[in-house]
């Protein structure tokens, strides 16, 4: 069975467009119709931009038309200020490219997620570290003009805590505050252990909170809230079905290389392997999520990087070499 079919059968959603693109290209050996990929290499990161341009691309990828920028930076795990500084600058550059707003624009930051659950606390942590300025414009607007944008922020919690759909909360705030842009920050589910805490995705298509862990909520996009939405996400969990599938792939590769065991490999069929995975994962129906024990440190580091990049990109007056002063 193809990996994409297996994931659909087990209700595994890939939040990262770059991973969905890799799987489709690997299965067909050809470019995905209606989808363009561009890549940039930096000292400590690789930036991959997936652009879904046509309805055929939407159907193949299972994602809306738009741009999906992924910054893969394994060195985030290193406690090195200079490396984090470079990654922050790269992220800020990409945020500016996707924002497409003028210097007088008003921006609302939304930290999605549950602050009581560490793997889901990225959004609230970024909000707690971000520089908010909207209230300052009531006191000295002339002094701030050209240096800072009007930025407001909220961490609205999750449906289980508030009893209100997050999209409803944001729509109400948008109607009152009237921002030109909403930037939503959320934790994602990855299709690879290597990407936990090290890959940052930007998307100009909005976001569906909880989709990666099987909790589909109302989408937060221009159609639902009446304002352009830029989404920033970081993988903090991996579905156990993905790990099980990777283990089986490695096992099958080992069987191929042994003449003695090759007959066993030839006798296996996809449905048998699928049955084994379903039996192991059956107590959770494919919805068991895995996160590393050091996730609290990864969330802390990446929240600072994202908050710093937001400061650089949203406020023209912030010195890029001294952005850390403006992180709360």
DSSP 191-222: SSGGGTTTEEEEETT-B-TTGGGT-----BSH
Count of C-beta atoms within a 10 Å radius of residue 22: 18
Q: Is the pLDDT of residue 250 over 90?
A: no
**Residue 66: predicted pLDDT:** 95
Average the pLDDT over 44-50 and give the result: 96
Q: How do residues 193-220 score in pLDDT, each as one tens digit?
A: 999 999 999 999 998 765 544 555 578 9
pLDDT the model gives residue 89: 95
The pLDDT assigned to 216 comes to 57
Q: The tokens 């059956």 sit on which residue?
A: 282
137-188: per-residue pLDDT in tens?
Answer: 877 666 566 678 899 999 998 888 888 889 999 999 999 999 999 999 999 9
- Structure confidence at residue 16 (pLDDT): 93
301-319 pLDDT per residue, tens: 999 999 999 999 998 888 7
- Please give the pLDDT value at position 177: 94
pLDDT at 212: 45
Could you tell me which residue, 259 or 234, shows the higher pLDDT?
234
* Three-state DSSP state, 38: strand
Per-residue pLDDT at 300 exceeds 90 = yes
Q: Are 113 and 187 in contact (CB under 8 A)?
A: yes
| pLDDT, average across residues 115-133 | 93
Query: Domains in the chain, start-ordered, CATH in brackets?
Result: 7-242+285-326 (3.40.50.1450)
In this predicted structure, what is the pLDDT of residue 41?
96
State residue 107's pLDDT score: 96
Q: What is residue 14's predicted lDDT score, i.e. its pLDDT?
A: 82
The neighbour count for residue 317, using CB atoms within 10 Å, is: 11
Summarised one tens digit per residue, pLDDT across range 73-96 is 999 999 899 999 999 999 999 999
Q: Give the pLDDT score at 181.
A: 96
- What does pLDDT average to over the chain? 87
pLDDT at residue 320, rounded to an integer: 75
What confidence tens digit (pLDDT) does each residue in 266-299 have?
667 767 777 777 788 777 766 788 999 999 999 9
Higher pLDDT, 231 or 250: 231
Q: Supply the pTM of this predicted model.
A: 0.88
- What percent of the chain shows pLDDT beyond 70? 89
DSSP state of 30: S
**Residue 279: Cβ-neighbour burial (10 angstroms; 0-12, 13-18, 19+):** exposed
């Amino acid at each position: 069975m193809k990996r994409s079919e297996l994931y659909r059968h087990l209700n595994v959603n890939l939040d990262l467009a770059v991973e969905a693109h890799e799987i489709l290209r690997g299965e067909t050996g050809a470019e995905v119709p209606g989808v363009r990929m561009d890549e940039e290499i930096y000292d400590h990161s690789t930036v991959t931009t997936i652009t879904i341009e046509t309805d055929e691309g939407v159907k193949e990828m299972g994602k809306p038309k738009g741009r999906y920028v992924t910054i893969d930076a394994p060195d985030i795990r290193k406690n090195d200020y200079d490396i984090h500084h470079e990654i922050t600058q790269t992220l800020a550059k990409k945020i500016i490219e996707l924002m497409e707003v003028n210097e007088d624009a008003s921006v609302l930051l939304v930290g999605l997620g549950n602050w009581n659950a560490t793997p889901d606390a990225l959004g609230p942590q970024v909000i707690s570290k971000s520089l908010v300025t909207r209230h300052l414009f009531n006191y000295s607007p002339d002094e701030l003009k050209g240096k800072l944008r009007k930025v407001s922020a909220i961490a609205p919690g999750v449906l289980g805590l508030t009893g209100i759909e997050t999209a409803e909360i944001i729509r109400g705030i948008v109607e009152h505050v009237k921002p030109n842009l909403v930037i939503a920050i959320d934790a994602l589910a990855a299709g690879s252990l290597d990407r936990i805490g090290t890959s940052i995705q930007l998307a100009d298509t909005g976001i569906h909170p909880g989709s990666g862990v099987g909790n589909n909520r109302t989408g937060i996009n221009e159609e639902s809230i009446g304002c352009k939405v830029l989404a920033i996400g970081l993988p903090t969990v991996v579905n156990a079905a993905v790990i099980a599938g990777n283990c089986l792939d490695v096992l099958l590769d080992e069987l191929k290389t042994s003449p003695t065991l090759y007959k066993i490999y030839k006798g296996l069929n996809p449905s048998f392997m699928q049955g084994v995975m379903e039996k192991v994962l059956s107590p959770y129906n494919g919805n068991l999520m895995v996160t590393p024990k050091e996730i609290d440190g990864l969330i802390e580091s990446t929240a600072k990087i994202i908050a710093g990049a937001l400061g650089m990109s949203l406020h023209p007056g912030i010195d890029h070499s001294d952005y850390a002063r403006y992180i709360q």
